[in-house]
Structure 1
Amino acid sequence: MARTTARHDPVPHHRRPRRNRWAGIVQAAFWLIAVATVVGVLVLFPWGGPPEADQAGFAQTSEERFAGRIVGVEESPVQDDFLLPGSVAVTVDVVLDDGRQVTVETVDEAGIFDLGRRVEVSQVAATGTPEIWAIVDLPRGVPLLGLSAVFVLAVVALGRFQGVRALVGLVLSALLIVAFLVPAVLNGSSPTVLALVTATAVMLVTLPLSHGFDRPVVAAAVGTALALALTVGLAVVAVELTGLTGLASEDVQLVRFSTGQSIDLRGLLLAGMIVGTLGVLDDVTVSQASTVAALRRANPTLSAGRVFGEALAVGRDHIAATVNTLFLAYAGAALPLLILFSVGDAPLGETLTSELVAQEIVRTLVGSIGLIAAVPLVTGLAALTLDGSEPDHGHAHGDASAPPPVPEPSSPEPPAVPPAEVAGTGSEAVLDPDASLRRLFRLDDDGEDPTE
């Protein structure tokens, strides 16, 4: 009789997983996005490589670099009146690694030309002119390798195998940007379209690698792709309405000068916004999808609507912190610019509407709006793709014909869950989530407990 009662107990029946059509729809959308991204990469990939830079307007020069060490520094007796404050004209003696010694006339702008410091020296020779020696940089290879090694060890030590997968995703992301996005921009393709395709490809590669391939990750990927599309649309409209040209950055001007090509500068500005937003979007979307999954694991009886509401409350806190993080990231990158404007005489309104500042404002606002839209979007998709094992509505309201999922301890009938799962006295009973999950995972396909 005990087994018969267990077989017809309504609680396992109502917890039997049901087929979730939304999960199929979201998964189909994921594969559609993946196929479209692969096609986009194949179509836009610069198979012939980027075009050669047009150097017709440059003198025929050759440059060769050497590593060396400073063996003498002497302040020049004559200082140029046009030197910036804090800069000093100096004569530097450098012994190259091949044994030669050269003398370089230069300007020490940061007080870094000390005896014994290693430097990189460039020898530039042009037709019909004497060779010129210049200190062009400082060697940083060893410190950067050491810092990278510490980073890798920290990621692997804490993340273990998941950390290794995240590092692989990081390398693939860098390859997509360096080997696909940059050459394709130089090849004349639209930077905006390229940034969208690249960002989506990075997302499709890194999310499964870092977090596995399950329903929450699929929901996060689809939500991220939709949020990226929304961000692109917002960025295009905002750049058009504010009249941003992309000409404010000296780096952009240097790109045009060095390549000798006509590059879509406004599209390049949009591409930077899109790629910059992706990193924060990944964090928000995966966190929201994981929150939905964690809530369901903690209490399998929660409905999809209740899970959505609770996860959205977490998302609000996440957004409040992330938007501030996004602003601080852009403000930190533009800190010298902010200092420059703070000592100027221009009115505040004129400063804020100048292109240099306006493009950072647009970047921050567009990225923040994309993040805000991503939270309910991904949370809703993740909630819709739950496994469908939640009980039907109306079974927890005291109906005598349908016992509640967690019976009172005083019930004469065998409890639906083992006594270890229930804590409390009197009319209060609290479901132990861990014990509930242990029982849930022991159920076979027919909803029966094989241990009974």
Structure 2
Amino acid sequence: MKYLLATVLLLTPVSAFAQTPTETNSSTREFQATVETIQTDEEVDGLRHVVFDARDEDGATYTIDTADSYVEGLRFNLRAGQNILLQKVVIQDQVDGVYFVDVVRTARLGWLFALFALAAIAVGLARGALALAGLAVTLAVVFAWIFPRILGGADPLTTTVIGSVVILAVNMHLTHGFRRSTLLAFSSTIVGLGLVVLFAEAFTTFAHLSGLASEEATFLLFGSDGAIDPRGILLSGIILGAVGVFDDIAITQTETVQELREMNVRIGSRELFSRAMRVGRHHIASVVNTLVLAYVGVAMPLFLLFLLGDNIPGWRFINEELVAEEIVRTLAGTLALVLLVPISTWFATWGKKRRLFHCQAIDKTQKT
């Protein structure tokens, strides 16, 4: 924890420490500006130091020194004409300083998303377009329903479970069609959702996780005056992370069963399940590796930060709650995904079996 606090202190602007307790009439405002000229661009002790002039939308000009700002030493490739984000600090109605905060990258992110959407449609055709529509639904549910309800004081776990059901129901049927196989796959994901809730609750309790390991969780707790349960937020994060892969596993196993049945309509249910599980075991191996690497990739700066301490033994590193959260997140989500493979395979096999019996009954009725 001390290494995280040290990092926060290093990234805090100089102006934050310059204020005294009597300076109560202070405010900050962020605004966009454009880099006019670069006065200095050098490297000092391995850190990049840039001094530049910038102009805001009202025509006011500022001379900015990155050594005084949040991102001291970070290697932004600033150039003339680039849009940036500045912060103005006002104390006692006087401008105390203007600091460089970040570059404006929203337009570039838009181009990257356009490239992603184009590739999805070019390769996936209609299904790719439907997947993008499903993505829009997912974002709408998360940002327009789940997050506002949690901020409003609703239980994070219950809210996330309901939102996850909506996301799975809409996305799976929108992307894969309103078919019996899709309904079976969706039904299996509901069982998987119940499992990940069970595992998340049990694992976080067993590991004594409070949900307050990160500064963000602490700020959220105090910022909401204690109205938001930090452990509930931790559980919600575990659930959402696993739900993102449920669709893939359930649909893959259901489609595998359907293809095997179409290749041999006389295949028995036991053999059908066994063959589909052979495919599923390969899926399990790839999913486990994928999820572990995904979580490690997200938490990579955290892991490296702790490993910077030469005197930290391995057990102490693993025991740190921030690290333990990532371990529990990986284990709870991955275990639910592993069990979803046989569950979704059984649902698909059982559904196809019932449909076969129904067709046979109809044939016998017509013959008589």
Q: TM-score per shorter chain, which class?
A: 0.7 to 0.9
Q: Partner residue of 2:206?
A: 241
Is 2:348 the counterpart of 1:382? Answer: yes
Instruction: For 2:232 and 2:266, locate their aligned partners in 1 and report how far apart those are by CA, in whole Å.
Output: 49
Is 2:302 the counterpart of 1:342? Answer: no
Instruction: For 2:123 and 2:354, locate their aligned partners in 1 and report how far apart those are by CA, in whole Å.
Output: 33
Equivalent of 1:99 in 30, 37, 59:
59
Matched residue SS, 2:75: coil
Q: Partner residue of 2:232?
A: 267
Equivalent of 2:140 in 163, 171, 175:
175
Equivalent of 1:122 in 87, 92, 108:
87
Matched residue SS, 2:178: coil
C-alpha displacement of 1:75: 7.3
Write the deviation string for residues 401-445 of structure 1: whole angstroms up to 9, x where unpaired: xxxxxxxxxxxxxxxxxxxxxxxxxxxxxxxxxxxxxxxxxx9x9
| 8 Å contact kept, 1:303–1:390 | no
Instruction: For 2:39 and 2:296, locate their aligned partners in 1 and report how far apart those are by CA, in whole Å.
Output: 37
Is 2:180 the counterpart of 1:220? Answer: no
Q: Partner residue of 2:337?
A: 371
| 8 Å contact kept, 2:32–2:56 | yes
Q: Which runs of 5+ in 1 are unaligned?
A: 1-57, 80-84, 393-442, 448-452
Q: Partner residue of 1:158?
A: 123
Q: Partner residue of 1:210?
A: 175
Equivalent of 2:325 in 348, 359, 362:
359
Write the deviation string for residues 269-305 of structure 1: whole angstroms up to 9, x where unpaired: 1100000001112111111111111111111111222
Matched residue SS, 2:95: coil
Instruction: For 1:222 and 1:305, locate their aligned partners in 2 and report how far apart those are by CA, in whole Å.
Output: 20
Instruction: For 1:95 and 1:137, locate their aligned partners in 2 and report how far apart those are by CA, in whole Å.
Output: 15
Q: Give the residue type in structure 2 aligned to 1:72.
A: I
Write the deviation string for residues 4-39 of structure 1: whole angstroms up to 9, x where unpaired: xxxxxxxxxxxxxxxxxxxxxxxxxxxxxxxxxxxx
Write the deviation string for residues 148-204 of structure 1: whole angstroms up to 9, x where unpaired: 111111111122222111111110100000001111111111111111111111001
Is 2:161 the counterpart of 1:201? Answer: no
C-alpha displacement of 1:353: 1.5
C-alpha displacement of 1:60: 6.3
C-alpha displacement of 1:372: 1.4
| 8 Å contact kept, 2:157–2:235 | yes
Instruction: For 1:166 and 1:174, locate their aligned partners in 2 and report how far apart those are by CA, in whole Å.
Output: 12
The higher-RCO structure (CA 8 Å, 6+ apart) is 1
Percentage of identical aligned residues = 33
C-alpha displacement of 1:371: 0.8
Equivalent of 1:184 in 111, 128, 149:
149
C-alpha displacement of 1:126: 4.8
| 8 Å contact kept, 1:273–1:367 | yes
Alpha-carbon spacing, 1:270–1:73, altered in 2? closer, same or farther (3 Å): farther
| 8 Å contact kept, 2:249–2:341 | yes
TM-score by length of 2: 0.83
Q: Partner residue of 1:433?
A: none
C-alpha displacement of 1:87: 3.8
Matched residue SS, 1:132: strand
Alpha-carbon spacing, 1:220–1:118, altered in 2? closer, same or farther (3 Å): same
Q: How does 1:57-76 map to 2 (within 5 A)?
A: 61=27, 63-74=29-40
Alpha-carbon spacing, 1:191–1:115, altered in 2? closer, same or farther (3 Å): same
Q: Partner residue of 2:103?
A: 138
Is 2:270 the counterpart of 1:310? Answer: no
C-alpha displacement of 1:246: 1.5
Q: Which runs of 5+ in 2 are unaligned?
A: 1-23
Write the deviation string for residues 224-276 of structure 1: whole angstroms up to 9, x where unpaired: 01111111011111111111111122222343455555421111011000000
Q: Partner residue of 2:215?
A: 250
Matched residue SS, 1:320: helix
| 8 Å contact kept, 2:188–2:343 | yes
Q: Give the residue type in structure 2 aligned to 1:386.
A: K
Once superposed, which parts of structure 1, at least 4 consecutive aligned residues long, lie more than 6 Å away?
Answer: none
Larger radius of gyration: 1
Alpha-carbon spacing, 1:226–1:331, altered in 2? closer, same or farther (3 Å): same
| 8 Å contact kept, 2:130–2:174 | yes
Q: Partner residue of 1:331?
A: 296
Instruction: For 1:100 and 1:174, locate their aligned partners in 2 and report how far apart those are by CA, in whole Å.
Output: 38
Instruction: For 2:136 and 2:97, locate their aligned partners in 1 and report how far apart those are by CA, in whole Å.
Output: 38
Is 2:109 the counterpart of 1:109? Answer: no
Q: Give the residue type in structure 2 aligned to 1:93.
A: D
Instruction: For 1:391 and 1:128, locate their aligned partners in 2 and report how far apart those are by CA, in whole Å.
Output: 81
Matched residue SS, 1:225: helix
Matched residue SS, 2:29: strand
Matched residue count = 335
TM-score by length of 1: 0.68
Q: Output the aligned Cα RMSD.
A: 2.7
| 8 Å contact kept, 1:169–1:206 | yes
Bigger proportion of residues as helix: 2
Once the two structures are overlaid, the 10-residue window that deviates more, 242-251 or 252-261, is 252-261
Alpha-carbon spacing, 1:59–1:305, altered in 2? closer, same or farther (3 Å): farther
Q: Give the residue type in structure 2 aligned to 1:63.
A: R
Once the two structures are overlaid, the 10-residue window that deviates more, 143-152 or 199-208, is 143-152
